């Protein structure tokens, strides 16, 4: 792992590794480390280059090239496009709840027993900012986390601790429902302190059970609206590298032993440079920007300068996205790479800026832009690269 490479407003944390996602043990370890620790996702974007679709000025009707292109495009349309069917309003896996409630209602004995204690309940406050307001999150491990200002902390009277980010007069309160007995003295004390001391909050929520999203029956008094994630997809030409260019960048050929030794020494630097150039390139695609897609141009980015205009599938979910959806996308992507349909695939995952935690249960900072994002590049031979953009003082695990 390569840590702490500063970028504007934050830092990049990189990792290059191998994982066979068809191996149950390896897949479980990968998802635990890279996916399931990031609980709050507001947008997920899938980018797939269509093989042999480089834009040229010549036509090659019936050639092997065009056949390869059609095969790749057809496979993506059959395997991936149905996942981005925006007309399927019955898809529970793309649903979440928008609620308005006081926190004590969600801590009623019946709701704790049925929905929180068993695990999988995700909820996050909205329309309140971590740098100037109070935010709360219900973690899927039955922990509740509040990040509050000094006045609210003193008013609540619940023991917490000062924020790890200095000089901001903020406090973090955590308590777990796992070991809390409903209607016990401890439970009643928390309810009494929260009741009438914190105004109602708007939250988004969903519940994972048995590897699927299931309906939630909220307590009386909670205002509930069921929402669907916004879904979009398109085919469009972007300047992106093919698998050969990526491989040449990451594994440059050498001609003698001395050069090989130097290459081994510079391996980490090569990965750093690749990640920085890749982040710039994929950022342009993610934001629907093209730099001279039809012409060669040297802009100081080797990867971008040597890429060709290639047709890509771009699909995204925006709202409150479960990690189950992300894992399903990765499994489909892995299948396409192993079958030779595509040479690489990229998954961009964007977190919420105003969540009290980032990865796992680490406190999330609000300095600058509140970065809380991840990009995963999957390559042939079970290779992958992870790039995580986090706040300058945030932690990643």
Say whether both 83 and 104 belong to one domain. Answer: no
Bigger pLDDT: 297 or 304? 304
Look at residue 57 in the predicted model and tell me its pLDDT.
47
Say whether both 36 and 102 belong to one domain. Answer: no
Say whether both 323 and 250 belong to one domain. Answer: yes
Q: How many domains does the chain have?
A: 2
CA distance 153 to 31: 36
Predicted confidence band of residue 37 (pLDDT cuts 50, 70, 90): confident
What is the model's pTM? Answer: 0.86
Residue 193 lies in a domain: yes
| pLDDT of 18 higher than 50 | yes
Say whether both 254 and 353 belong to one domain. Answer: yes
Residue 260: domain span: 2-90+230-390
Q: Residue 290, SS3?
A: coil
Bigger pLDDT: 222 or 372? 222
Residue 305 lies in a domain: yes
Residue 304 lies in a domain: yes
Beta bridge partners of 98: 204, 225
Residue 268 lies in a domain: yes
Say whether both 247 and 385 belong to one domain. Answer: yes
Go through 372-390 and write b for each residue having 16 or more CB atoms within 10 A of its CB, e for each that does not. bbbbbbbbeebbbbbbbbb
Say whether both 250 and 336 belong to one domain. Answer: yes
CA distance 126 to 133: 11
Say whether both 141 and 160 belong to one domain. Answer: yes
| Residue 194 near residue 152, CB atoms below 8 Å | no
Question: Residue 232, by phi and psi: left (phi above 0), alpha (psi -120 to 50) or beta?
Answer: beta
Say whether both 56 and 181 belong to one domain. Answer: no
Say whether both 309 and 256 belong to one domain. Answer: yes
Give the end of a domain, one of 182, 213, 228: 228
Residue 105 lies in a domain: yes
Residue 396 lies in a domain: no
CB atoms < 10 A from the CB of 393, how many? 16
Say whether both 55 and 173 belong to one domain. Answer: no
Give the end of a domain, one of 172, 200, 228: 228
Say whether both 237 and 188 belong to one domain. Answer: no
Residue 395 lies in a domain: no
Cα 201-207-230 angle, rounded to 5 deg: 75
pLDDT in tens, 185-238: 888 888 888 887 778 899 999 999 999 999 999 999 999 999 999 999 999 999
Give the end of a domain, one of 228, 263, 286: 228
Angle, to 10 degrees, between the axis of helix 243-250 and the axis of helix 267-286?
150
Give the DSSP H/E element, type plus range, for residue 70: helix 64-79
Residue 397 lies in a domain: no
């Amino acid at each position: 792992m390569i840590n702490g490479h500063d970028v504007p407003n934050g830092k990049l944390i990189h990792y290059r590794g191998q994982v066979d996602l068809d191996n149950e043990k390896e897949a479980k370890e990968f998802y635990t480390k890279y996916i399931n620790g990031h609980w709050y996702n507001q947008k997920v974007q899938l980018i797939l280059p269509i093989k042999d679709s480089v834009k040229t000025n010549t036509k090659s009707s019936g050639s092997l090239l065009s056949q390869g292109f059609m095969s790749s495009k057809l496979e993506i349309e059959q395997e991936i496009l149905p996942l981005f069917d925006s007309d399927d309003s019955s898809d529970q896996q793309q649903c979440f709840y928008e609620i308005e409630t006081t926190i004590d209602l969600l801590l009623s004995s019946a709701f704790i027993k049925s929905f929180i204690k068993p695990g999988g309940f995700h909820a996050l406050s909205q329309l309140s900012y971590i740098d100037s307001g109070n935010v709360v999150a219900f973690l899927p491990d039955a922990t509740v986390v509040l990040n509050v200002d000094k006045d609210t902390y003193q008013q609540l009277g619940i023991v917490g601790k000062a924020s790890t980010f200095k000089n901001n007069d903020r406090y973090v309160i955590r308590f777990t429902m796992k070991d809390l007995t409903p209607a016990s003295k401890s439970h009643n004390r928390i309810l009494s302190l929260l009741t009438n001391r914190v105004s109602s909050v708007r939250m988004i929520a969903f519940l994972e059970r048995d590897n699927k999203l299931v309906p939630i029956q909220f307590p009386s008094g909670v205002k509930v609206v069921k929402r669907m994630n916004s879904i979009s997809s398109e085919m469009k030409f972007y300047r992106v590298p093919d698998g050969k260019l990526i491989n040449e960048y990451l594994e440059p050929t050498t001609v003698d032993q001395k050069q090989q030794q130097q290459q081994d020494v510079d391996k980490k630097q090569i990965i750093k440079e690749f990640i920085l150039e890749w982040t710039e390139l994929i950022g342009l695609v993610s934001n629907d920007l093209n730099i001279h897609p039809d012409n060669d141009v040297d802009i100081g980015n080797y990867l971008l300068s040597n890429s060709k205009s290639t047709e890509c599938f771009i699909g995204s979910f925006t709202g409150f996205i479960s990690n189950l959806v992300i894992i399903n996308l990765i499994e489909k992507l892995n299948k396409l790479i192993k079958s030779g349909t595509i040479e690489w695939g990229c998954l961009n995952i964007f977190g919420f800026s105003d969540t009290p935690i980032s990865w796992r249960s680490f406190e999330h900072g609000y300095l600058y832009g509140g970065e809380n994002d991840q990009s995963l590049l999957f390559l042939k031979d079970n290779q992958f690269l992870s790039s995580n953009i986090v706040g300058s003082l945030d932690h990643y695990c």
